[in-house]
């Protein structure tokens, strides 16, 4: 384990130093090429994907067909940070820096596990996918790769802050854009003016009544929040003639369906003279479709009694020498894209925290070594 810890520390540090912010796909590709060089002696089958400027790479043990039995999946892109966050620092076994926990440290754990597995003679149905746009939804990364026919029975995603707990459910995210229009005018004549803000608020409050039910004590429930509002006026005396608002809806898929929420907001918009803005996109077949907002309304759910999940739990507990629990995830991962394609999704993480926080992102290096050891043992059993 000490030797594995040393290698993971070095690889994580090397990856963190590459400023692979999602907006900078040149650096994303540089990080992916670095991984290619690291794995070059294994003679893996390597495929590069590019869509709308987003780059991803897949490495597969030679001779395998899809669906794979297990696909290790991570993202190499990170959110923006100051320059000093790309100079990793280690204190008391904790590495600090952008991407240490989210998720280059976890990428390193998977890369080294795969390398050790293959070098010891492993030749099973195993692959590794690293994408370049998870931080902005993964539509041109993981989703695009899946649309090209890549498939797996189980996808393993070590992303989050769970200290080895297994994620049972991941909330589905979706974002709506609603517009309200009125005559506008001077606020002194408000009694004569149909203020579009008031109609838009009726839509908001109507959705909140049903979908904004999470509390600090009972947080595994739906949330629905207005995140941005624009009126186009800069005077406190003016009533806007046009108002745009954006809403973020996140919900457990075992509680609501995406279609239910869309129907509700469509009806509320019609009742209150508002318009739900749609986006025109192309599906996997190139057909043009309209969608109400963006985000997909896709989450994922993991059966903790599934044999593959129980085996992972047993392997991990053997490495750690302690039990591990379960967790729910309020954020989103690329797991939702795989779940939507019928794959089992296994989400967990090493001991990490501070994702997206300036000067605060970290990962426990020893826990990364333990995670990597567990992944390698798991591949030996299921690959």
Sketch out the chain's domains with CATH numbers: 2-170+299-382 (3.40.630.10), 172-292 (3.30.70.360)
Write the DSSP assignment of 172-213 as a string of letters.
Answer: EEEEEEEEEE---EEGGGGGGS--HHHHHHHHHHHHHHHH--
Judge whether 302 and 166 are in contact, CB under 8 Å: yes
Q: Answer whether residue 288 shows pLDDT above 60.
A: no
Say if residue 315's pLDDT is above 70.
Answer: yes
pLDDT tens digits, residue range 84-95? Answer: 999 999 999 999
Give the strands of the sheet with 166-170, arranged side by side: 300-301, 166-170, 326-329
Integer-rounded Cα Rg, in Å, for the chain is 23
Rounded-to-integer distance, Cα 49 and Cα 34, Å:
16
Which pLDDT does position 1 carry in this prediction? 80
Residue 22 has pLDDT above 70, yes or no: yes
Tell me whether strands 326-329 and 166-170 are parallel, antiparallel or unpaired: parallel
pLDDT for 356: 86
Angle at 73 between CA 329 and CA 372, to 5 degrees: 90
Q: What is the pTM of this model?
A: 0.91
* pLDDT bucket at 291, cuts 50 / 70 / 90: low
Q: How far apart are CA 256 and CA 212, in angstroms?
A: 12
Q: Nearest to residue 145, comparing CAs of 162, 163, 127?
A: 127
Confidence at residue 296, expressed as pLDDT on a 0 to 100 scale: 73
Q: What element of type H or E holds 128?
A: strand 126-131
Q: Is 346 exposed, middle or buried (0-12, 13-18, 19+ CB in 10 A)?
A: buried
Average pLDDT (114-125) is: 97
């Amino acid at each position: 384990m000490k030797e594995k810890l040393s290698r993971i520390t070095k690889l994580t540090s090397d990856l963190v130093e590459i400023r692979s912010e999602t907006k900078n796909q040149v650096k994303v590709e540089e990080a992916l090429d670095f991984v290619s060089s690291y794995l070059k002696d294994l003679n893996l089958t390597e495929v590069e994907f590019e869509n709308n400027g987003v780059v991803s790479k897949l490495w597969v043990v030679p001779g395998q067909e899809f669906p794979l039995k297990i696909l290790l999946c991570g993202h190499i892109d990170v959110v923006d940070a100051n320059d000093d966050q790309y100079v990793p620092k280690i204190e008391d076994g904790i590495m600090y820096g952008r991407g240490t926990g989210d998720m280059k440290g976890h990428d390193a754990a998977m890369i080294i596990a795969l390398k050790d597995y293959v070098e010891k003679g492993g030749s099973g149905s195993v692959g590794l996918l690293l994408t370049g746009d998870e931080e902005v939804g993964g539509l041109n990364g993981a989703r695009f790769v899946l649309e090209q026919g890549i498939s797996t029975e189980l996808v393993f995603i070590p992303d989050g802050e769970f200290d080895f707990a297994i994620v049972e459910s991941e909330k589905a995210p979706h974002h709506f854009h609603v517009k309200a229009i009125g005559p506008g005018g001077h606020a002194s004549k408000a009694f004569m003016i149909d203020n579009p803000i008031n109609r838009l608020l009726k839509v908001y409050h109507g959705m909140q009544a049903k979908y904004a039910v999470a509390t600090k004590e009972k947080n595994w429930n739906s949330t629905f929040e207005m995140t941005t509002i624009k009126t186009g006026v800069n005077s406190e005396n003016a009533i806007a003639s046009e108002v745009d608002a954006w809403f973020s809806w996140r919900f457990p898929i075992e509680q609501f369906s995406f279609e239910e929420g869309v129907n509700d907001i469509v009806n509320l918009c019609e009742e209150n003279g508002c318009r739900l803005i749609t986006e025109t996109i192309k599906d996997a077949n190139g057909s043009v479709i309209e969608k109400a907002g963006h985000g997909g309304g896709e989450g994922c759910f993991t059966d903790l009694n599934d044999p593959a999940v129980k085996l992972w739990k047993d392997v991990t507990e053997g490495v750690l020498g302690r039990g591990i629990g379960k967790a729910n995830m309020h954020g989103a991962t690329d797991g939702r894209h795989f779940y939507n394609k019928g794959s089992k999704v296994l989400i967990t993480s090493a001991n990490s925290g501070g994702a997206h926080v300036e000067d605060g992102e970290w990962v426990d290096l020893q826990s990364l070594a333990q995670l990597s050891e567990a992944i390698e043992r798991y591949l030996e059993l299921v690959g």
